[in-house]
Amino acid sequence: MAMETGFHVAVVGATGAVGEQMLKTLAERNFPISKLTLLSSKRSAGKTITFKEEEIVIQEATPDSFEGVQLALFSAGGSVSKALAPQAVKRGAIVVDNTSAFRMDAEIPLVVPEVNEADLQKHNGIIANPNCSTIQMVVALEPIRKKYGLKKVVVSTYQAVSGAGANAIKEMKDQTKAILAGEDFTPEILPCGSDKKHYQIAFNAVPQIDKFQENGYTFEEMKMINETKKIMHLPNLHVAATCVRIPVETGHSESVYFETEEAGLTASEMKAMLKDAPGVVLEDDINEQLYPMATNCVNKNDVFVGRVRQDLDNENGFHMWVVSDNLLKGAAWNSVQISESLVKLGLLK
Amino acid sequence: MAMETGFHVAVVGATGAVGEQMLKTLAERNFPISKLTLLSSKRSAGKTITFKEEEIVIQEATPDSFEGVQLALFSAGGSVSKALAPQAVKRGAIVVDNTSAFRMDAEIPLVVPEVNEADLQKHNGIIANPNCSTIQMVVALEPIRKKYGLKKVVVSTYQAVSGAGANAIKEMKDQTKAILAGEDFTPEILPCGSDKKHYQIAFNAVPQIDKFQENGYTFEEMKMINETKKIMHLPNLHVAATCVRIPVETGHSESVYFETEEAGLTASEMKAMLKDAPGVVLEDDINEQLYPMATNCVNKNDVFVGRVRQDLDNENGFHMWVVSDNLLKGAAWNSVQISESLVKLGLLK
């Protein structure tokens, strides 16, 4: 099928776990593409990828790759984004960047369309896509903030290995097989490829995602804390996070405690409101043992919310369980959704 | 080796996952036993178990099994304890019960020796052993309460399948093998054998342990909430829990947020204090990526604490990661430790 009327789109990091989901999502959503440029590191250049029955040769990403590109979706690591995103902007592209490179830059909007789509209006060429574990949480928290006000959030995550890339998935599976067969193995990637020590992820829970910061929090935890405040426009919100990797392939789960400004709400009111919230699917019926689970969220764009219940001591306190596909709403789908918003708002030219 | 001077001890549920650990721990600790009676359901009666090189035939547990028994360790389910623990007491035994049958009975001490050993003095024949996920948390919280006061606790758990018994371990391993081989399977046990629906545990996180209560919390969550208040003698402590099963064989992990009465503490002070706390091993050095993990706690009696850090918004707030072997400190070791305390206090006659 020939490309139709639309935009010249580039995907940087086309061969990665997220890049693959981006292409799948662009195709599924029938995003208006007139030309698709697939870019990667030198190592993957020359390979071909089929998009809507058309074979496309992957090219090495260089500044000149962005000539004529109108929309560039980056997901090839922070250093690639830092080097090439400004080059793409210089050549007239709008960049939607899936790395942490620009997220906390005051001049760059950090966007989850259900929460702060209007921030896209203020873009200077680059729009940052938030961290996976942040996105699904703010989708669930925003309708609560909007209706009842939000004072405090304490989250503990149960994060899937696909967030650490295809090599991490392979490591988890190889380790699992080795353990079941009684064989030895050497952890080499998780919890964090660029850190000194590596630990078993199979049949384990590892309380480290990304590197430690001087304040004792990991970078992943600080991402959740800082990005949540920025996206929700709540610089004084109390947010705390503990980020944990568990042996799940795809689908992040989160145990979220939050306190509302408004008092006297019931769990029923909270659930009725969440049921109609954009991007949220409420799965909550204890009589039917209905609650979100990682295994049920894969390949879906929604954020699933359940186990909604009032704190037993604090009438402003509630607990909920939030699950989403970390490669989709946590990455590829949110990037494509931002792209759709750019089209809708007439910002993509 | 012949039995030596000591007590006539009975173990009820000798063939279960916890029963096995109890026998191992009694042997390792060289608990003074003059006679060991092993009891079980009719199904396992007649089998033999070797204890300190002596073969012992398992008998079916009946009221008369407790004639002459001085100490009876129960771990065969709540209904067995309800039926037989009073019979054992009637015959002069002290019962240490590892089920939830008597834990919230006001007349029955619920004991974690590091926290409330003195409560043993008030026993009326039965002493309850708390829930696994509660025990490890209160061992870490008690030194904090003692030194700084404790106002609020919010815990999210990462619980191992061995807490649901040997069948649950087998189910997790069989499912894991099936998934890796691309084969079908039917969940039959987890999240809760006696509940209606069963879900995949392999490569998943399931936010249900035990059955749901009318208030929206699971029984496991209510155990953590109510038992913590009882053990710590803090009826007004704010405690909230979200209990989650993950694909780990043994070793419960817990993400614990807590607020102290005293203000102005630092994480360093907190760590220095926890380092010397009874039953606690502090594993906390972010420069060396040192933190507790389930895989490292197995077969150890201690409660491992790490990731201790101050909340970024609340100077009374702290976070920590608490890990322990759920079959040992969470069950068998705590029961044997209670038994040792009974001997030490001269209560076992």
A182 with A298, same domain?
Answer: yes
Whether the complex's predicted ipTM is more than 0.95 is answered with: yes
Cβ contact B244–A255 (<8 Å): yes
Q: Judge whether A212 lies within some domain.
A: yes
A102 with A178, same domain?
Answer: no
* Cα–Cα distances in angstroms (integers) from residue A202 to residues A75, A146, A163, A284, B339, in the given order: 26, 40, 15, 29, 36
Helices and strands in chain B, H and E counts? 9, 14
A115 with A185, same domain?
Answer: no
Using one digit for the tens of pLDDT, what is the confidence trace for A63-97? 999 999 999 999 999 999 999 999 999 999 999 99
In this structure, how many other beta carbons lie within 10 angstroms of the beta carbon of residue B174? 15
Q: Judge whether A2 lies within some domain.
A: no
DSSP per residue over B121-168, as a string? GG-SSEEEPPPHHHHHHHHHHHHHHHHH-EEEEEEEEEB-GGGG-HHH
A23 with A81, same domain?
Answer: yes
Q: Which residue of A249, A267, A292 is in closest CB contact with B216? A: A267
Positive or negative torsion for Cα B91, B97, B101, B103: positive
Position B264 scores a pLDDT of 87
Residue B243 catalytic? Answer: no
- Averaged pLDDT, groups of 10, chain B, 349 residues long: 76 93 97 97 94 96 98 96 98 97 98 98 98 98 98 98 94 98 98 97 98 98 98 98 98 98 95 98 98 98 98 97 98 98 95
Position B288 scores a pLDDT of 98
H or E segment at A90? helix A78-90
B38 with B116, same domain?
Answer: yes
Q: Judge whether B238 lies within some domain.
A: yes
Q: Judge whether B349 lies within some domain.
A: no
Position B1 scores a pLDDT of 41
Q: Judge whether B177 lies within some domain.
A: yes
Q: Give mean pLDDT, residues A321-349.
A: 97
Using one digit for the tens of pLDDT, what is the confidence trace for A166-186? 999 999 999 999 999 999 999
In chain A, the largest separation of any two C-alpha atoms, in whole Å, equals 61
> C-alpha B164: how far from its chain's center?
12
Question: How many domains does chain A contain in total?
Answer: 2
A200 with A311, same domain?
Answer: yes
Characterize the bridge pairing of strands B150-158 and B238-242. Answer: parallel
Position B349 scores a pLDDT of 82
The CATH number that applies at residue B198 is: 3.30.360.10
**Helices assigned H by DSSP within chain B:** 17-28, 78-90, 113-116, 132-148, 166-180, 219-231, 267-275, 294-297, 333-344
Q: Judge whether B311 lies within some domain.
A: yes
Using one digit for the tens of pLDDT, what is the confidence trace for A267-287? 999 999 999 999 999 999 999
Q: A225 to chain B: which residues are within 8 Å by CB?
A: 312
B194 with B278, same domain?
Answer: yes
What are the tokens at B348?
A: 């076992």
B93 with B48, same domain?
Answer: yes
> C-alpha B324: how far from its chain's center?
9
Using one digit for the tens of pLDDT, what is the confidence trace for A143-174? 999 999 999 999 999 999 999 999 999 999 99
Give the gap in angstroms from C-alpha B166 to the nearest C-alpha of chain A. Answer: 16
The helix/strand/coil state of B268 is: helix
Position B5 scores a pLDDT of 83
B313 with B340, same domain?
Answer: no
A178 with A123, same domain?
Answer: no
Domain containing A285: what range? 134-326
Question: Taking a C-beta distance cutoff of 8 angstroms, is the pair A164, A251 a contact?
Answer: no
Q: Which residue of A195, A239, A289 is in closest CB contact with B197? A: A289
Percent of chain A exceeding pLDDT 70 equals 99
Position A2 scores a pLDDT of 44
A100 with A242, same domain?
Answer: no
What are the tokens at A342?
A: 């750019």
Q: Given its phi and psi angles, is residue B62 left (phi above 0), alpha (psi -120 to 50 degrees) or beta?
A: beta
The CATH number that applies at residue A53 is: 3.40.50.720
Question: Taking a C-beta distance cutoff of 8 angstroms, is the pair B319, A238 a contact?
Answer: no
In this structure, how many other beta carbons lie within 10 angstroms of the beta carbon of residue B180? 15
Q: Using 50, 70 and 90 to split pLDDT, how confident is the model at A4?
A: low
Chain B residues 167-226 with a CB less than 8 Å from chain A: 173, 176-177, 180, 191, 195-197, 199-200, 203-208, 212, 215-217, 225
Judged on CB neighbours under 10 Å (0-12, 13-18, 19+), A41 is middle
B262 with B145, same domain?
Answer: yes
